[in-house]
Amino acid sequence: MSDRLETALAKARLKTPENPLGMGLITYLMAGDPDSDTTLRRLTGLVKAGVDILELGVPFSDPIADGPVIQSAGLRALQQGMNLQKILNLTTRFRKENQTTPLLLMSYLNPLIHYGYDRFLTEAYAAGVDGLILPDLPWRESTPFRQRAYELLQDRLAFIPMIAQTSRPDHIHGLAQGQKGFIYVLSRNGITGGDAEIPPQTRQFIDSLQTTLSTPCYVGFGIQSPTQVHTLSQACQGVIVGSALVQKFAELDACALPAHESVHREQDIYTWIGSLRKTSVREELACE
């Protein structure tokens, strides 16, 4: 695990006026939606809003874990010609501005294999990527990929496992053995996005993980309100906000405002993100 990621995870647990719950905050953007320059600007804006860790999606034509919001974002990015090489160029540009905020890539396995796995690992690390989330690569089956990454880079690139409520006990137990970074816990079974309610069984499931795992648990899929974050604050170490954020940016882009006005309106979205760990928030942003 990179020093950047280790430091960010520890810092996110400190209670501050901006983060009174001591909850970590990770946000997701689809790379290249609507274009590379806008993605870079929004990554920087999210950091200024207080986000601890950034997650950047790699668009893929056949996603299995993404809901309609992120599927649409991926399609828009592909239509702009976004690919893995351009994403690594984008992360390199980001690192010229920011050397401290961890950046994770969320990708399906196919683009990495097509690119060349060894080539991808070495170039991703050189570009400043701190970790990978691979939703279509089960943890048990990922051993050869993780071992090859260790041979090339030692522990410098984190592999972030995902746990669902359908995960087998032996799978969860296996993750307890020396896992670094954090665990991505799905708030419910299914695809990204969805209802805002955190079902009682989800809270019970996350509570049960704390008796098995020493690695921090971050909950994603459908996170979009301060009420959710407050509900989860006693059960996990952080949250991941994806579809709700992608949707707000998509709605703003659909307004087709002049560039300077669109940039100005982005500030409302950053304010919303920063407020998720607080007690009140302006939930809706409408085109005016």
For the question of residue 3 being annotated catalytic, the response is no
Strand order from edge to edge, sheet including 24-30? 158-159, 131-133, 103-106, 53-57, 24-30, 238-241, 217-220, 183-186, 162-163
Which of 33, 52, 66, 123 is an active site residue? 66
Which of 55, 123, 130, 266 is an active site residue? 55
Q: What contacts 211, CB < 8 A, 6 or more positions away? A: none
Q: Give the CA distances from residue 228 to residues 200, 220, 264, 269, 279, in Å, rounded to whole numbers and listed in that order.
A: 12, 11, 28, 18, 11
For the question of residue 55 being annotated catalytic, the response is yes
| Contact between residue 141 and residue 92 where contact means Cβ atoms under 8 Å apart | no
| Contact between residue 27 and residue 273 where contact means Cβ atoms under 8 Å apart | yes
Q: What contacts 109, CB < 8 A, 6 or more positions away? A: 134, 136, 137
The residue type of 204 is Q
Q: Give the CA distances from residue 70 to residues 31, 159, 222, 248, in Å, rounded to whole numbers and listed in that order.
A: 11, 22, 12, 12
Catalytic residues: 55, 66
